[in-house]
Amino acid sequence: MKLQPDHLDVQSILGYGPGWIGVASQGVAEKIEHSFVIGSRGEKFAWICTHFEDLTAAHFEQLAETRPELVIFGSGSRLRFPPPAFLRSLMQARIGIETMDTLAACRTYNILAGEGRNVIAALLIEPPPADAE
């Protein structure tokens, strides 16, 4: 699906499909095919996790270190909530977290980033099913 945001002065998500997300940063478009973190303050880095079941508390500690006001966690192709113990570092830092499937997280990130919020999206990109290629 292609997203058509208004011109944003922050990194934005342009589109997505099975196994990929398109990102625009400083006028440069990029197709990303692995889990990553994107932020409205210029953050963008790989989030080393291929499957929801591989997540650990360390993944969320890494998010807390970026000090956003809100984390949007895209849990993959369907809505899944991480164990509360994984979120301890975010809660201790008083950072909000919202969980949704990755495609909804992409849309929500664009809206909040466009509003000037200090937000990051941690987007789990799972390999597409073999029959989707």
Which domains are present in the chain? 12-128 (3.40.1230.10)
Residue 10, classed as helix, strand or coil, is coil
* pLDDT (average), residues 82-99: 97
Which residues are registered as beta bridge partners of 17? Answer: 20
| Cut 0.75: pTM above it | yes
For residue 2, pLDDT over 50 is answered with no
For residue 124, pLDDT over 50 is answered with yes
Cα angle: 69, vertex 71, 76; to 5 degrees:
170
Could you give the CA distance from residue 21 to residue 13 in angstroms, rounded to a whole number?
7
**CB 60, CB 72: distance < 8 Å:** no
Could you give the CA distance from residue 61 to residue 17 in angstroms, rounded to a whole number?
28
Could you give the CA distance from residue 83 to residue 5 in angstroms, rounded to a whole number?
33
pLDDT-based confidence at 27, cuts 50/70/90?
confident
pLDDT of residue 28: 86
Which residue, 45, 109, 29, 41, is CA-closest to 73? 109
* pLDDT (average), residues 24-46: 93
For residue 26, pLDDT over 90 is answered with no
